[in-house]
Structure 1
């Protein structure tokens, strides 16, 4: 991250995002909800899914690709399941409803699975898996990515996306264990942020159509993302897409709309979230103690030469959130310039620097 990046308090970032969305026509309450989730993405270090995405969302809104007054509703339901129709609204709104529904159902049923259809890009996967933590539940989230960048194993045609998974497991004294990963070596949002900053990609993220390493993110449209673990990552991308997309009647395979290139066609993005009530399986406090013990065993285990620390999934984002809540979210100069242009075009206030002791936003 550039040393001259602007540092913005989380709450100030949330207000800026909400102001821009409202100026673009999003109802005030919805703008506040989406802004809170986007700012939280930046606080945990998911830089490719927070305010970085704001210009793209506004572009789609202004092109008519987003329904600004969606009727988000449950269209199919059983005691431990539900299907939420997002009505082509901003993706965060529909997935939030699905997460809240899954959590409410899991309280009585022990577990609950909720799917989303007619959604849109909704930010990092862990935002929604983490929502279960406050309720002493485990959260699991799957999604179909918003553009296809992955071919079948051994193929060239882009028929799959990064199709991420996130799992959030509460602990006691230790930070929660939070896995958030794409089924590709790198999420496409990381490619986009590299391009904006003028930074090369490491070898191993993408290859060209001859199978040669591609490291220039400006040429990403010419390349193919690589799956994690070779053919195993391809298999995971396929199965996650079937669960989050096909099962819900959402887009998958050739049906997926590239929202990076098409601002007008509804994407029909699919997501799914599972909530597991720990109390349905035993005492919550005892479970958390066992998680703490396992975390400490892993962290304190013998290390290879040169390894300073063994990390648990989610520890680095936990520490990053603490640091950014205290010091502000860093906004690199190229992104700041783009956000200033966006605010000016909409007549919204520009993004400022640190102004007093501003509390960080909380996801709702």
Structure 2
């Protein structure tokens, strides 16, 4: 049975749990905000679903609750930070602050990060520059390898997501958030929680046959978007977010689903682009609204009722869940109740 929980209730619970696990109030509140935003935005595999896993990593020594985040390289338009093996939410929040501050002067800034961890959905960080009238672009190395190189069977690549957020006026911002695999692994895990089967095309087994049972996901291989093109994107994103930052990529990636004690050294980067470096921001936002209207007005194929734009569902889902609550399936609620009892805090 699914229960709907108000966003504020969930946020307070996550902050209490993280505080009981040793986080400072400020760090717990920041991480709870971002995790709740993930659930409000419909990214159910990257919000409170991950809370027991994060706390296991903290307790096992695989992740530092209150990291010392250091700037290792600093130039006018770039920076490299060491996340101190802290939660990716805290590391990339700091990266966004640095990128936005630099872009105010330079017009564009690229901040890379290493010694980080899983950070939730990519859209969280791409959206951060929007508040300053900027475009955001975020890329990460996924936290477990579930995809082989095209034509191979060795798991050497992850979902390696990209998100881009573009400001608008009357319409929701255009927010592209996608994995380089057909489905993010979090969706596989939430399908298992809900007792659902996976669509054909998400995974194959090692003979190349479709795999649709999420309970057997450990036997399978995620498929890239667009065949070899998705493989190429995953490879390039891994080199830029991982190798370039001195972070893990390829065979060095630690499966944080199976290993709570090892340091993952997750890599990410964030680009902030100041629209004012190119044109009047108000004119740009109006032009984005116009492009939105053009796309929506397109003649449609038979059976198509609506043309959708990236970010539209996110905005609708957030509005709906703010009004009706965040749906949490029974297996997840049971895990959260067990976690609360273990931590000695009040359950949801």
- TM-score normalised per structure 1: 0.95
Match of 1:270 among 267, 272, 275: 267
Unaligned residue ranges in structure 1 (runs of 5+): 352-364
Q: Say which is worse superposed, 124-133 or 66-75, in terms of deviation.
A: 66-75
Match of 1:82 among 53, 61, 79: 79
Provide the C-alpha distance between the structure 1 equivalents of 2:205 and 2:313, rounded to a whole number of angstroms: 32
1:232-271 paired onto structure 2 within 5 Å: 232-271=229-268
Provide the C-alpha distance between the structure 1 equivalents of 2:326 and 2:219, rounded to a whole number of angstroms: 32
Match of 2:27 among 22, 25, 30: 30
Provide the C-alpha distance between the structure 2 equivalents of 1:328 and 1:261, rounded to a whole number of angstroms: 31
Q: Say which is worse superposed, 168-177 or 66-75, in terms of deviation.
A: 66-75
User: CA offset at residue 12 of structure 1?
Assistant: 1.2
Equivalent residue number for residue 154 of structure 1:
151
User: CA offset at residue 69 of structure 1?
Assistant: 2.7
Equivalent residue number for residue 3 of structure 2:
6
Provide the C-alpha distance between the structure 1 equivalents of 2:334 and 2:237, rounded to a whole number of angstroms: 37
Q: Deviation per CA, 1:141-173, whole angstroms, max 9, x where unpaired?
A: 000000001100000001110000000000111
Equivalent residue number for residue 69 of structure 2:
72
Please tell me the root mean square deviation across aligned C-alpha atoms, in Å.
0.7
Match of 1:226 among 217, 223, 238: 223
User: CA offset at residue 11 of structure 1?
Assistant: 1.3
User: CA offset at residue 73 of structure 1?
Assistant: 1.4
Structure 1 residue ranges, 4+ long, deviating more than 3 angstroms after superposition:
none
Unaligned residue ranges in structure 2 (runs of 5+): none
Equivalent residue number for residue 322 of structure 1:
319
Provide the C-alpha distance between the structure 1 equivalents of 2:81 and 2:38, rounded to a whole number of angstroms: 23
Q: Deviation per CA, 1:60-93, whole angstroms, max 9, x where unpaired?
A: 1111111123111111110000111101011110
User: CA offset at residue 333 of structure 1?
Assistant: 1.3
| Number of residues of Structure 1 aligned to a counterpart in Structure 2 | 348
Provide the C-alpha distance between the structure 2 equivalents of 1:334 and 1:118, rounded to a whole number of angstroms: 32
Q: Deviation per CA, 1:11-47, whole angstroms, max 9, x where unpaired?
A: 1111000001111112221111100000000001010
Partner SS, residue 115 of structure 2: strand
Q: Deviation per CA, 1:192-236, whole angstroms, max 9, x where unpaired?
A: 111122211111000000000000111111110000000000000
Partner SS, residue 105 of structure 1: helix
Relative contact order, CA 8 A, sep 6+: which one is greater? 1
Equivalent residue number for residue 134 of structure 1:
131
Equivalent residue number for residue 348 of structure 1:
345
Q: Say which is worse superposed, 323-332 or 47-56, in terms of deviation.
A: 323-332
Equivalent residue number for residue 104 of structure 1:
101
Equivalent residue number for residue 285 of structure 2:
288
1:168 and 2:165 aligned: yes
- TM-score normalised per structure 2: 0.99
Partner SS, residue 218 of structure 1: helix
Equivalent residue number for residue 305 of structure 1:
302
Equivalent residue number for residue 207 of structure 2:
210
- Given that 2:159 and 2:181 are in contact with CA atoms closer than 8 Å, whether structure 1 keeps it comes out as yes
Match of 1:51 among 34, 40, 48: 48
Equivalent residue number for residue 58 of structure 2:
61
Partner SS, residue 171 of structure 1: coil
Q: Deviation per CA, 1:113-163, whole angstroms, max 9, x where unpaired?
A: 000100000000000000111111000000000000110000000111000
